[in-house]
Amino acid sequence: MIKKIIALFFMFYTFAVSADKLPLIDSLTLCTPDFFRKVYINKNKLRKHTNIKIFNRNQAYISVENRYDIAKNYVYFKKPMSYKDLTITGYYDHAMNLGKMGKYYFWGFIIDNDINQIKETLNFIDWQSMEDNILYIGNPMIRNINDEIQIWEKNNGTVVGVKTIPAPDTTEKLLLLEKDANMNLLICSIQGTVTSELLKQERPDIIN
């Protein structure tokens, strides 16, 4: 009887841990709008941790109070979630318009692990170091304002808009791993010349 109880407890414990595995990290790292469809698919699980808003019938997003205010552009989960050996504690959503220097949009997760541990866990990303132990980038893409709306090309430039202003009439998109003052972030960024049409495609949660 004791062995059966222990076995049942082990099964329950395994289920409880696996039930909190955040299923969205892999999707986020691609920095595509499919991320918002994955949020919708996992909405019931996510609602146990944070506020979820549905749009376009089959898409959803994690809501922050104000993406334009640096004091209100993130939310901590009611309880953390996990991905492999990482602890996911919240969601970050920041936007800013710098006029001639372009528009900048950031979205992703707050992770309660050392930045190098995050990088090692996500070793399927070809990380480029912008500043050791502070800032890494992955999957850099670029497009010209005259390109078809769906076109993105690999950005082979040695310097991208993380440290510099994107070139005129171009848009950059990339994955960022950043050690911020108060949190470590795994976030996507789209920056530069971001038209309303492009924003609707890449960040459909903003156009709703």
Chain segment 92-117, per-residue pLDDT in tens: 999 999 998 999 999 999 999 999 99
Task: Tell me the residue type at 37.
Answer: R
| Six-digit token string for 92 | 């970050």
141-200 confidence digits (pLDDT tens): 999 999 999 999 999 875 565 566 888 999 999 999 999 888 999 999 999 999 999 999
Which among 88, 86, 68, 70 has a CA at the least distance from the CA of 78? Answer: 88
The pLDDT of residue 158: 53
What would you measure as the largest C-alpha separation in the chain, in angstroms? 72
Number of neighbouring beta carbons within 10 Å of residue 194: 22
